[in-house]
Amino acid sequence: MDFSEKTLFKNISQLPETLSLSIQSAEPIGKIHSTKSGQITIEVDGVFLHSRHDPDLESKRFANELPFDGEKRIYLLLGAGLGYILNHLLEKENIFVIWFETSLALLKISLQLFDVSNHLETGKLQIVADFENEDMIMEAFRGKGAYPITLVPHRGSFSWKPEEYGKLRYIAEQHFHKKDVNLATLTRFEKIWAKNLSFNLYDCIQMQPIHKLFGIAKGIKILVAGAGPSLYESIDDIKKYRDSFLFIAVDTALPVLQHFDIHPDLVYSVDPQALNSQYLESYDGPAILVFDPTSTYLSLRLELGPKKGFFTSSPFPLIRIIEDLGEQKIGEVLFGGSVSTNAASLASLMEADKVYLVGQDLSFTKGWAHSKGAILEERLNFLESRKFRREMHNYKQLFALTQKTVEGINGETYITNEKMLIFKKWFESQAKDHRWVNLTKFGAEIRGIPNESFAAAFQSSNPQSVLHVRNMVQNLVKDGSPYVNPSLLSSELLNIVQSLNEYLLPVKRGLQVSRMIYRQIQLNQIEPNRFQKDIKEMNEIDELVSSKKGLSEMLSLGIQRVILSITEGYDEKLNPDERANPQLGIAKKSVLLYEGLYESIHSTRKHLKKTLLRIQNERD
C-alpha cells in the first residue's frame, strides 16, 4: 500500500477549492506502522486508529454489520481514520457516504491511499471538514432529505479525541433538528408570506428603503432589545441610560417598553402572523417602524401604531415587482430566523461603534417564554377564564417544542428549545464579524459575545451625537418621497395579472396531462401510442413553463413545500405505492408541481388584483 501524490491530487481536484488547499497544507501527524497483513495503521498520541493486524478486514466486518436493505440510505461517518471503510461502503448500491472529519492530516493520508475521485465527482461521497460553515453541511445533504441516515462513529477516532469527535455527533443532530424546524416553519407560513408580500407592496412603496439607514450611526452606540423574560429586569437601566444610545426594539418588546414609558427609536417587525399586529395596535409614541415585507399586512393598516418608516428587501422573488421599478436599491438585512437576529443585523449595518443586546435570553428564564407584558397581556385579560389561564398559555409555549438545556450567563443551567438554539447558533456564528456585547442579565450564554453591565457599557457616551443621529433618522421618514410612483406600480401589476392569465392556460393543461400519465401508470394500463403522445405533450408543456422563469419564481413562494418534495427528496406526500414504484412517484411529483403552480397562480392573481383595486380606489 503506497502513498501516492497522484492519487491525492486526483481526489482533491473533486473537492471545493478551500478544502482542497487546506488538505494539501495539512501537517503530518502520528506514526505510520506496517501491519501483519501488509497494510498500514497509524498511531496518534499513543492510540492506534486501526487494527495492528488487518485494518481492511476489520473495516469490512464493521461495514457488513451496518443496516442495508437495498434502498437509498446515507452513512454518516463521524471520523473514519485512514478511510479503510470507504470502499466497503461505496461499493453498495443506493448508498451515499458523508464523511465528517476534524483532522485534515488524516484526510490527506486517506486521499493518498484510496482513489475515490469518481465517487467524489458523482456525489456518492461527500467530505465535510469545516463545521463553522453551515452551507457546507447543508450542501452535503442536499437532495437526500428523505433518505434514512445511519450514524457511523469511528471507534479509533473516538478513542483518540472523544470530545472532538463527540461534537460531530452533536453537529449532525443539530442539523437534523434545524431542518425539521425550518420545514415546519415553511409548511406553516409559505402561503401567509405570499399573501402578506402581495398586500404590502403598495404600503412599502410609500415607505423608505432600509439602505438609507446603513452607515448612519457611526460614532454612537445602539441598543437592541429582544422580548426575552429578563427584559423586565433591565427596564430601570434602559431608562437610566436612554440618552446614551440609539434604541432598536423588536415589536414583541414594545408593549413592555410602552408600559414603562420607554420609546425606542426604531421598532422591527418580521412575524407574518396576524396576531403580531396586536403588539403595535395601541402604540401612539414616536417610534418608527422597520418592516419586513412578509410581515402581517394588518400592521400597516392600524389606526395607531409606530410611524411607517423603512422597509427591507426580501429573499422572495415577489419583491422584485417594486425593486425593479425603484431608482435605488432597497437594501438587505441579514436574516437569522427571528426578529432579534434581524434587528442586530440592522444595527451592525448602521455601523454603530458597538451594538448592545438586551432581553436576548434564548431560554425560558424563570419559567417564562417572554417578558411580562410581551405576551399580549390585555388580550389575555379578555380571554382568561376558569378553563383558560395565562399560566396555561405560557405552559403551552414552553412545551410547544422538545425542551433542551443550555449553559447560562452566570453558569446556571436554563431550559430552552430547538428553535431558540438555532438563533443562539446564529448569533455565535456571526459574533466574530460584529462588535456585539450582551447586556442581558439572565439566560443562555452566547459564546463569542462578551457580557457587560449597563454601567460599564454606557459610562462614557455622547448624548448629543445620539440625538443628532436620532434626528437624521426621523428626517429621513419625514422628508422622504415614495420609493415608487403608485401609477408605475399600478401599471406593472396590470401587466403581471395579464401574464398570469395567459400562464394559467398551459399550467392547467399540464395538470390535466400529468394526471392522465399518473393514472395510466397507477392502473398499469399503458397504451403505447397514447402514452408517448402524452409524454411528448408533457415535455412541451414543461419546456414552456421552464421558459417562463420570472413568473415561475414569483409563484414559487406559495409552493415551497412542493418544490422541496421534488428537489430535496422529501416524499411525505407520496403514498406507499408511489414510494415503491419510481415511475409512479415521478408522475405524482409532476402532478404535485402543476397542482401547486395552478393554485399559486389563482391565489397570487387574486392578491395582486386586490392590491391593484386598493391603489385605484385611493387614487380616485
pLDDT at residue 393 greater than cutoff 50: no
Backbone angles phi, psi at 131, to 5 degrees: -95, 5
> Of 421, 444, 475, which marks where a domain is finished?
475
What percent of the chain shows pLDDT beyond 70?
A: 88
Question: Do 299 and 429 lie in a common domain?
Answer: yes
Question: Do 151 and 249 lie in a common domain?
Answer: no
Question: Do 261 and 390 lie in a common domain?
Answer: yes
14 compared with 179, residue with greater pLDDT: 14
Give dist(CA 2, CA 11) in Å, integer.
15
Question: Do 469 and 490 lie in a common domain?
Answer: no
198 compared with 139, residue with greater pLDDT: 198
Q: What is the mean pLDDT of residues 389-418?
A: 68
pLDDT in tens, 278-332: 889 889 999 999 999 999 999 999 888 888 899 999 878 889 899 999 988 999 9
Q: Which residue has the cell 457546507?
A: 136
Cα dist from 606 to 191, 419, 486, whole Å: 13, 34, 19
Give dist(CA 156, CA 50) in Å, integer.
6
435 compared with 392, residue with greater pLDDT: 435
Question: Do 469 and 501 lie in a common domain?
Answer: no
Q: Which of 187-196, 451-460, 503-512 shows the lowest mean pLDDT across its residues?
A: 187-196
pLDDT at residue 374 greater than cutoff 70: no
pLDDT at residue 420 greater than cutoff 50: yes
Cα torsion 444, 446, 447, 453 to 10°: value is -100
What pTM value is reported for the model?
0.70
Find how far residue 465's CA is from the centre of its chain.
Answer: 36
pLDDT for the residue numbered 192? 86
pLDDT for the residue numbered 576? 78
pLDDT at residue 409 greater than cutoff 80: yes
Question: Which of 252, 257, 215, 249 has the alpha carbon at shortest distance from 232?
Answer: 257
Q: What is the mean pLDDT of residues 583-605?
A: 90
Question: Do 401 and 496 lie in a common domain?
Answer: no
Q: What is the mean pLDDT of residues 604-617?
A: 93
Q: Which of 44-53, 130-139, 336-345, 536-545 shows the lowest mean pLDDT across its residues?
A: 130-139
pLDDT band at 88 (very low <50, low <70, confident <90, very high): very high
Asked if the structure places residue 12 within a domain, the reply is: yes
- Which three cell numbers mark 244? 446614551
Q: Which residue has the cell 395510466?
A: 520
pLDDT for the residue numbered 425? 86
pLDDT for the residue numbered 178? 57
Question: Do 454 and 500 lie in a common domain?
Answer: no
> Of 160, 193, 226, which marks where a domain is finished?
160
Residues with Cβ within 8 Å of residue 164, at least 6 apart in sequence:
102
Residues with Cβ within 8 Å of residue 548, at least 6 apart in sequence:
503
pLDDT for the residue numbered 395? 46
> Of 417, 452, 475, which marks where a domain is finished?
475
Highest mean pLDDT among 60-69, 378-387, 469-478: 469-478
pLDDT for the residue numbered 382? 45
Asked if the structure places residue 192 within a domain, the reply is: no
Question: Which of 126, 85, 127, 84 has the alpha carbon at shortest distance from 104?
Answer: 127
Give dist(CA 370, CA 367) in Å, integer.
9
Question: Do 322 and 226 lie in a common domain?
Answer: yes
Q: Which of 234-238, 463-467, 506-510, 594-598 shows the lowest mean pLDDT across its residues?
A: 594-598
pLDDT at residue 373 greater than cutoff 80: no
pLDDT for the residue numbered 198? 93
pLDDT band at 98 (very low <50, low <70, confident <90, very high): very high
Q: Which residue has the cell 397542482?
A: 595
Q: What is the average pLDDT value for the chain, to the nearest integer?
A: 86
Asked if the structure places residue 197 within a domain, the reply is: no
CA dihedral sign, ordered 189, 192, 194, 200: negative
Question: Do 249 and 272 lie in a common domain?
Answer: yes
CA angle 114, 2, 46 (to 5 degrees): 85
CB 566 within 8 A of CB 597: no
Q: Which of 287-296, 481-490, 576-585 shows the lowest mean pLDDT across its residues?
A: 576-585
Cα dist from 273 to 278, 323, 536, 539, whole Å: 10, 24, 44, 39
Q: Which of 2-16, 147-161, 381-395 shows the lowest mean pLDDT across its residues?
A: 381-395
Count of H-run helices and E-run strands, the chain = 24, 17
Q: What is the mean pLDDT of residues 589-604?
A: 90
Asked if the structure places residue 189 within a domain, the reply is: no
Question: Do 492 and 467 lie in a common domain?
Answer: no
Asked if the structure places residue 143 within a domain, the reply is: yes
User: What's the CATH number where 114 sits?
Assistant: 3.40.50
Q: What is the mean pLDDT of residues 364-390?
A: 53
Q: Is 183 helix (H, G, I), strand (E, B) or coil?
A: helix
Q: Which residue has the cell 432589545?
A: 225
User: How many structural domains comprise the chain?
Assistant: 3
Highest mean pLDDT among 2-6, 60-64, 371-375: 60-64
- Which three cell numbers mark 387? 378553563
Asked if the structure places residue 170 within a domain, the reply is: no
331 compared with 579, residue with greater pLDDT: 331
Q: What is the mean pLDDT of residues 26-41?
A: 92
pLDDT band at 605 (very low <50, low <70, confident <90, very high): very high
Residues with Cβ within 8 Å of residue 30, at least 6 apart in sequence:
42, 43, 44, 45, 49, 105
Asked if the structure places residue 199 within a domain, the reply is: no
pLDDT for the residue numbered 151? 86
Residue 331's domain comprises: 213-475
Cα torsion 462, 466, 468, 474 to 10°: value is -170
Cα dist from 122 to 97, 116, 118, 158, 452, whole Å: 11, 10, 6, 29, 50
Question: Do 348 and 240 lie in a common domain?
Answer: yes
Q: Which of 108-112, 315-319, 513-517 shows the lowest mean pLDDT across its residues?
A: 315-319
Question: Do 363 and 388 lie in a common domain?
Answer: yes
Give dist(CA 276, CA 434) in Å, integer.
29
Asked if the structure places residue 198 within a domain, the reply is: no
Residues with Cβ within 8 Å of residue 91, at least 6 apart in sequence:
none
pLDDT at residue 15 greater than cutoff 60: yes
How would you list the strands of the sheet with 47-48, edge to edge?
31-34, 40-44, 47-48
Q: Which of 44-53, 79-88, 374-383, 604-613 shows the lowest mean pLDDT across its residues?
A: 374-383
- Which three cell numbers mark 6? 497522484
pLDDT for the residue numbered 574? 73
Give dist(CA 427, CA 447) in Å, integer.
8
pLDDT for the residue numbered 138? 80
